[in-house]
Structure 1
């Protein structure tokens, strides 16, 4: 493998009390248990290790378990602050102790051949090509892998066994007593030939694991290792068997390295597969990563649903009035509307997955088409039956209204003079008469000009005035 630019050298350090499996011989990651009473005692050895390699231009990829990350993160921050350089990358891995030990040794084996940024990115890619988990009798205290309430309650029943997987996907399944697990029940199986490493807790019988689970992997070799010190902490119980199955093919480590698609960091220039560089922390735009190659094929994607088309317009002779559909929120997967009786269903074309189609106007509900308007005032709408008899002429709305609310025409208003108001000094009682008609039409504004009071009237000349009623006096 050749590179246009100079490849950066790197080393791998594992910040946890996880011994090596010894499967790769001398290619092992440097271990730091981080034991001590204070930060200087816990991180002193790692800081000296990072300072020594940074002086020679070598970057350090520090792996640590995410379920025990406090001391590891403090040690990395202490080392970066002491050296004031971005040559140390902290990479958290959510794996069991035995699987993390193998992944760390594999990364140490690839360090002489790949840049430091690719080594850090393979910490997430290599677990996707391995099958790691545990054989447990109790999952009530398992906090590193999600479990359900029935699985938690089933742990208190006698004779129950669970298969808990942490890679490539975390899951917990129940295994029936005496039943051999099949390959179809596993989410992934490594490429042939398969090798298995396993270890168990203290005083735990591994006969059921070797009889029910190992035959399903069809491994060419199975090796038993001493128990990991952090095994009971990860599995939540001292009664467990943890395992890791991987491929022993010569190109087993080449395919994961080709699966990642890195981009060069805009700040430190190191290849990175994350949006944030693990060395300098700069933000980058990384391409989409390729799906995992090998193993069992994934299930095909569901076919897209039919497109939502507009409802058909009502025919002209159906006699049904057009109506617009109510405005409703569009569902996630809309179903095609039922066709109108008498209309043929229209086929819909399936959507293309790539590239995504934009939202078209056909996907939005539209109102139905309206019939043509009648040409004449007396013409009937299309589809309506002709009248059998001539309808009587409509009455004039001005004649059918009560007399008190009829509107007077302009000649009547101009020919009829306005009646003067009674004098303020009149002794007789008079009040306005509420007759059928008023001096002006309702809603017509009053004349702002002055009025001529005219000669005094006693109320006998105008029928609108009645005797015996006192009229209001005008203010002086």
Structure 2
């Protein structure tokens, strides 16, 4: 069985991109499930799949994060990878689907888990907003705050891979800098009535297609307004994703022994230590 990918909300399970992509397991928040049931749920996933990878938003409420770590601790399992990512909700859903796609490939659980941080850098996640006055997940200048009070103003905001903000209404509308590689654009509409994302942003970014999905329940809170259109442009071709992950050198984790890519193990969170680099930093005798 492939490594299980689990998410923290059912609206983060996007439709499979092809018939080979498995679904994600949906974990329940503390308010909806007793602690013992959470333990039993994750234990069953481990028994069936061997390993579980859980990408979740870094802004996930603290009680939910504490529940995840508590269940992992009670199970005394180093086969559960908890991966906080600094993406807005739709971006987390896209990342989870990419990991689902790769879970049926020839990657070990350690590589799959540590690939989450790599893939997150290739997801262009943002939103179209009528105001940025209460936005706290993306840096906003005082000028942009002031412009938010002007009626009819709309802003395009990019949260990842690097913060960007552009006023898209008025005499000189701006535009966000997009990816330099092939992507598909996923759009989730809130209460803001606008076709700007599909009619302006999508052609400017030369996306290979635009798909619509339901807005995640946590998106209005993340963006500080229900009046939004959330979007995420990402690589959808599993062969390209496979090539991207395969191109990174694999190393054994010096703590748990699993394979990893990048600078940190996805399962035990131990940083990768290059002994050659350590020797280079030692002072000469």
Q: Normalising to structure 1: TM-score of the pair?
A: 0.52
> In 2, distance between residues paired with 1:267 and 1:69?
29
Q: How many equivalent residue pairs? A: 274
Q: Please state if 1:143 is matched with 2:136.
A: yes
> In 2, distance between residues paired with 1:78 and 1:161?
42
> In 2, distance between residues paired with 1:250 and 1:54?
25
Note closer, same or farther for the CA distance 1:45–1:30 as it changes in structure 2 (3 Å cut): farther
> In 2, distance between residues paired with 1:129 and 1:287?
29
More helix by share: 2
RMSD, aligned CA = 2.8
Within the candidate set 49, 54, 65, 1:62 is matched to 54
Note closer, same or farther for the CA distance 1:178–1:94 as it changes in structure 2 (3 Å cut): same
Q: How does 1:354-373 map to 2 (within 5 A)?
A: none
Measured after TM superposition, the shift of residue 257 of structure 1 is 0.7
SS at match of 1:255: helix
Q: Please state if 1:201 is matched with 2:196.
A: no
> In 2, distance between residues paired with 1:220 and 1:119?
26
Q: How does 1:8-407 map to 2 (within 5 A)?
A: 10-16=3-9, 18-25=11-18, 26-36=21-31, 41=33, 43-55=35-47, 58-113=50-105, 114-177=107-170, 185-191=176-182, 194-202=183-191, 204-249=192-237, 251-273=239-261, 275-286=263-274
Measured after TM superposition, the shift of residue 244 of structure 1 is 1.3
Measured after TM superposition, the shift of residue 27 of structure 1 is 2.2
SS at match of 2:210: strand
Offset from partner CA, 1:196-250 (integer Å, 9 cap, x none): 1101113x21233333323212334212222221110111111111111224446
> In 2, distance between residues paired with 1:16 and 1:176?
34
Contact persistence 1:180–1:211 (CA under 8 A): no
> In 2, distance between residues paired with 1:226 and 1:9?
27
> In 2, distance between residues paired with 1:283 and 1:220?
37
Offset from partner CA, 1:360-408 (integer Å, 9 cap, x none): xxxxxxxxxxxxxxxxxxxxxxxxxxxxxxxxxxxxxxxxxxxxxxxxx
> In 1, distance between residues paired with 2:89 and 2:102?
20
> In 1, distance between residues paired with 2:166 and 2:231?
16
Note closer, same or farther for the CA distance 1:84–1:241 as it changes in structure 2 (3 Å cut): same
Task: Report the structure number with the largest CA radius of gyration.
Answer: 1
Note closer, same or farther for the CA distance 1:163–1:42 as it changes in structure 2 (3 Å cut): farther
More strand by share: 2
Greater RCO structure (CA 8 Å; 6+ sep): 2
Contact persistence 2:167–2:174 (CA under 8 A): no
Measured after TM superposition, the shift of residue 22 of structure 1 is 0.7
> In 2, distance between residues paired with 1:258 and 1:45?
37
The unaligned stretches of length 5 or more in structure 1 are 1-7, 289-476
Offset from partner CA, 1:101-122 (integer Å, 9 cap, x none): 1210110121132111111111
Measured after TM superposition, the shift of residue 23 of structure 1 is 4.2
SS at match of 1:50: helix
SS at match of 1:190: coil
> In 2, distance between residues paired with 1:50 and 1:273?
25
> In 1, distance between residues paired with 2:159 and 2:35?
29
> In 1, distance between residues paired with 2:49 and 2:189?
41
Contact persistence 1:164–1:170 (CA under 8 A): yes
Measured after TM superposition, the shift of residue 273 of structure 1 is 3.4
> In 2, distance between residues paired with 1:208 and 1:237?
18
Q: How does 1:454-465 map to 2 (within 5 A)?
A: none
Contact persistence 2:255–2:270 (CA under 8 A): yes
> In 1, distance between residues paired with 2:275 and 2:204?
37
Note closer, same or farther for the CA distance 1:120–1:42 as it changes in structure 2 (3 Å cut): farther
Contact persistence 2:127–2:158 (CA under 8 A): yes
Measured after TM superposition, the shift of residue 139 of structure 1 is 0.7
> In 2, distance between residues paired with 1:115 and 1:201?
38
> In 2, distance between residues paired with 1:65 and 1:220?
27
